[in-house]
Structure 1
């Protein structure tokens, strides 16, 4: 096992490329140095600048720090900024004691040699659902503990479906979903909206359909993959989805859905409160042949970056263990709108809020984008995927040609 001090190395090209990965599962970013004193002040960086010191999130961090006998200096950064700051601070030997980082960025920081493993710090991860934990596993070693998870599902407007004579229980696969959308459009309403923007956000939204077809990220030009791109392309060409999806973010597509004109919208856990207020409901995204499609896991992992003073890890690990305890996840951390990462905590959440059932089902069917040991290869694959989708939706290429070109680019890289 390598030591804490020798694992820090120069940042590689692949890791720099992976900085571009942004996670769109609904969290965002302040600024401060990470220098700490031996006085018992520990630095903590997270992607939640929207939460100030009066928030429940800040209070639970303070409580966990107090239990460990230390104080915490917390800084929230924008998600897109946090990874690059973490990489730079690591290169300079000035990393925060605790880093809460977007899940696809974990492998980037591991490749750069900037994170210690859960095993090195005796952090317990055995109860974490395997599909959630997968984002922090690199070469069989785990490097973080999830604070929770979110994912995507299919929201629907019951009034629009009822007026079109559609029973939501009939929507079980792509054929029945298409039948429902066709009825809605025939009734004078709009079918479905989503985000197909040419960024990681577009890939994030496309992956449930891609994985739901049976396709794998190691073979972008498979027949299953083509069927998924064809599905979206048909929706747009038939007018079942608006042309605006090509530039839609998850926020703008949600704003379209809030007009009350659409039957369906693909979006995430973070919209569940707004959906409830609007009277919308949700089902897991259906796979091509039925069942819940695997959507990508969103959410962040608590990690312990490499420190020059190894004695600091013990207190940091205590804080992480406290933050990820079932009581804190269910009672306090749930202000983050996450589904818990362990079955025990999920059941506790469900006992308090029965409306979480479809989201727990969706999270349990989800999978990590960097899973299958893709690690820092994922950003390259993702960029080619969203480019192929964009080319197909705009008519520049057929779905088959777009994906063939995407696979060729990945292979050449």
Structure 2
């Protein structure tokens, strides 16, 4: 409780400008006529940070279809910019100005569950058909201490892209193990071309990539100070020290990494399926493909995507009714591809991308994708992990020293 109060006070100070945020964002009446008058319908508001027009249009259609399917609830969507989303959600909890549903980045779900914002829906959805069809990773991202506080919306993960011509010229094939990754990266490094690249920023984006290696040793998100953590950090250190990966990756976003790849400056990169449409549009003549990530000790990838979080309050039943509608298997099939997401349900994912071999690789990779954390203080843990990765890549610390330092920080948070 003391940690909760401290967190709330800190967030309240940081977000004193809440009134200029979500309340001023445009509200979309997904049913077309806005909230029904005369108190006939209860209003359920969804907060979403999606700024892509296609995403907004697709979500609005799902809500419109739900509104037309019954006469008790009107769902409306409120756009809140991603940069403000977490602050406004935190301050909204203090000010009692929250929606009924939020679409939330999956690593943040546990933090807000611990703050008491989300309703425990474990027993309410236990009998839902298809609940067992969810991939373990996405479903676990909705949990805290074994209890369920949301339902996965859609997911993505990371896999390995490679330039077919560059690997062929080097007499190499896509790597399946870490040793093969280092070997192929070295063979394809030539002139201005580096063999491998991955976003390694010292933030959540960098952690997102690094965890594939950490988990690949069999470690959890909270273990780095052991032999497995040193092994993961040594992998990125060796790639950089050997010249197969530029040390500039510590400044590259995932978009930067993609741009380097389609410009012909990288033979291989780790990235997600959201890059596929852009690559096909911007580099139609580039010969590239995707395979699952090389394996260390165990297969691993990082889970991205969003969840439906149900706000604790007097409209939990109405919120869940909409979510049950939206997450029906047949209905998901009608919209999930428009988001460029892999369905979090295995039965739906199996039907996606039947004529798209690239996206099928990402769908198969989902079986080894894990959620970051989850932990109420995940941002602090993430910062320690990405810092250790950065320090190892640029060489200001040995992997052993960086691992020990990060573990000390993580232990202070988790113990």
The TM-score bracket by the shorter chain reads 0.7 to 0.9
In structure 2, distance between residues paired with 1:9 and 1:118 = 25
Cα gap change, 1:355 to 1:217, in 2 (>3 Å): closer
What is the aligned partner in structure 1 of residue 5 from structure 2? 12
What is the aligned partner in structure 2 of residue 283 from structure 1? 291
What is the aligned partner in structure 2 of residue 331 from structure 1? 334
What is the aligned partner in structure 2 of residue 129 from structure 1? 135
- Quote the offset at 1:300 in angstroms: 0.8
Cα gap change, 1:145 to 1:406, in 2 (>3 Å): same
- Find out whether 1:229 has 2:233 as its counterpart: yes
Larger displacement relative to structure 2 (231-240 or 51-60) = 51-60
Alignment partner of 1:267 out of 266, 271, 291: 271
The alignment's TM-score, normalised by the length of structure 1, stands at: 0.85
- Find out whether 1:360 has 2:351 as its counterpart: no
Contact 1:144–1:301 (8 Å) recurs in 2: yes
Superposed CA RMSD in Å reads 2.8
In structure 2, distance between residues paired with 1:54 and 1:150 = 18
- Find out whether 1:32 has 2:23 as its counterpart: yes
Gaps of 5+ in 2: 13-20, 28-34
- Quote the offset at 1:222 in angstroms: 0.8
What is the aligned partner in structure 1 of residue 177 from structure 2? 173
Contact 1:160–1:262 (8 Å) recurs in 2: no
Cα gap change, 1:235 to 1:328, in 2 (>3 Å): same
Cα gap change, 1:322 to 1:354, in 2 (>3 Å): farther
In structure 2, distance between residues paired with 1:260 and 1:377 = 39
In structure 2, distance between residues paired with 1:126 and 1:231 = 36
Q: Deviations over 1:31-86 (max 9, x none)?
A: 33699884433211112022379722321222123324333321222334222211
Contact 1:109–1:115 (8 Å) recurs in 2: yes
- Quote the offset at 1:121 in angstroms: 4.1
In structure 2, distance between residues paired with 1:156 and 1:341 = 26
What secondary structure does 2:267 align onto? strand
What is the aligned partner in structure 1 of residue 302 from structure 2? 296
What secondary structure does 1:55 align onto? helix
In structure 1, distance between residues paired with 2:155 and 2:54 = 22
Equivalent residue runs for 1:372-411 within 5 Å: 375-411=375-411
In structure 2, distance between residues paired with 1:43 and 1:9 = 31
Contact 1:246–1:390 (8 Å) recurs in 2: yes
What is the aligned partner in structure 1 of residue 319 from structure 2? 316
In structure 1, distance between residues paired with 2:259 and 2:385 = 25
The number of aligned residues is 386
What secondary structure does 1:207 align onto? helix
Gaps of 5+ in 1: 1-7, 20-29
What is the aligned partner in structure 1 of residue 52 from structure 2? 50
The alignment's TM-score, normalised by the length of structure 2, stands at: 0.85
What secondary structure does 1:235 align onto? helix
What secondary structure does 2:370 align onto? coil
Superposition misfits of 4+ residues, deviation over 6 angstroms: 15-19, 33-37
In structure 1, distance between residues paired with 2:83 and 2:141 = 18
Equivalent residue runs for 1:126-275 within 5 Å: 126-168=132-174, 171-186=175-190, 189-275=193-279
In structure 1, distance between residues paired with 2:197 and 2:123 = 45
In structure 1, distance between residues paired with 2:238 and 2:294 = 17
What is the aligned partner in structure 2 of residue 92 from structure 1? 95
Contact 1:164–1:187 (8 Å) recurs in 2: no
Alignment partner of 1:106 out of 91, 106, 109: 109
Larger displacement relative to structure 2 (181-190 or 219-228) = 181-190
Cα gap change, 1:323 to 1:363, in 2 (>3 Å): same
- Quote the offset at 1:204 in angstroms: 0.6
Contact 2:11–2:87 (8 Å) recurs in 1: no
Alignment partner of 2:86 out of 79, 83, 87: 83
